[in-house]
Amino acid sequence: MRFFIDTANLDQIREANDLGVLDGVTTNPSLMAKEGIKGEANIKQHYIDICNIVKGGDISAEVIATDYEGMIREGKELAALHKQIVVKVPCTKDGIKAIKHFTEIGIRTNCTLVFSVGQALLAAKAGATYVSPFIGRLDDISTDGVELVRQIVDVYRYYDYGTQVLAASIRHTMHIIQCMEAGADVATCPLSAILGLLKHPLTDIGLAKFLEDYKKVNG
């Protein structure tokens, strides 16, 4: 399973990238706003900065337009910024049409705001590179988000669709483990959830003991 970080914060992106296990970054308009990135030129430069930090990684950049023509115009501009850009498009009627068009002209896409297998089916048929089921937001309404990931993985495998399942709206470390068990191709996670994978008290206790024993002999 590949790891993306779900943030527009450059310090966090650098920290995750320095671990050496980062495969990409997902952003959305809310995450960009959280970092105070505003204005078309600044937003575009921010995407380029992210691409330059995570060399070779896939970087999702979301369209703001909700109509087909606007999505196509914005998506082409975003894709032209850098070869690592993946155009993120919401799972709406116009969005699916736009994904189909982007697929035909060789622009990679991430179909976002997916909450059902039916939406995932349309994304795959349109040729989306990634489909993003939002698991935390489903959990928020007492629906099993990880189960949706499992269902999408199953049907994609059954029908041999090429679209990769990118588990999104991950809120904590356990979500990452559950998505891996469900067969997700990618998990996009907050930095805290990624770092949580490292934590185990027996690792800390074991390391302290190793150092203690070393010092007993070596001073």
Interior/surface letters 14-46, b for 16+ CB within 10 angstroms, e for the rest: eebbeeeebbbbbbbeebbeeeebeeeeebbeb
- Between 150 and 171, CB nearer to ligand G3P: 171
Angle among Cα 123, 30, 187 to the nearest 5 degrees reads 50
Q: At residue 166, what are phi and psi to the nearest 5 degrees?
A: -110, 100
Give the CB-nearest residue to ligand G3P: 168
Has 88 been annotated as catalytic? Answer: yes
Identify which of residues 25 and 101 has a Cβ nearer to ligand G3P in the complex.
25
d(CA 92, CA 135): 18
State the residues that interact with ligand G3P by CB under 6 A. 6, 26, 28, 31, 134, 136-137, 168-169, 171, 188
**Which is closer to ligand G3P, CB of 30 or CB of 218?**
30
User: Are the C-beta atoms of residues 87 and 75 closer than 8 Å to each other?
Assistant: yes
Shortest distance (Å) from residue 99 CB to ligand G3P: 17
Q: Give min distance, CB of 45 to ligand G3P, in A.
A: 21
- Minimum CB distance to ligand G3P, residue 167 (Å): 9
Backbone φ and ψ of 87, nearest 5°: -80, 125
Closest by alpha carbon to 149, among 173, 177, 125?
177
Q: Which residue, 62 or 74, is less far from ligand G3P as judged by CB? A: 62
Cβ closer to ligand G3P: 31 or 121? 31
Q: How far lies 86's CA from each of 11, 59, 154, 158, in Å?
A: 21, 6, 24, 26
- The active-site residue out of 38, 44, 83, 88 is 88
The amino acid present at 208, given as its one-letter code, is A
> Least distance from C-beta 95 to ligand G3P, angstroms?
15
Number of residues that make up the chain? 219
Tokens of 207: 């390391």
In the complex, minimum distance from the CB of residue 19 to ligand G3P, in angstroms, rounded to a whole number: 19
- Give catalytic residues, as residue numbers: 88
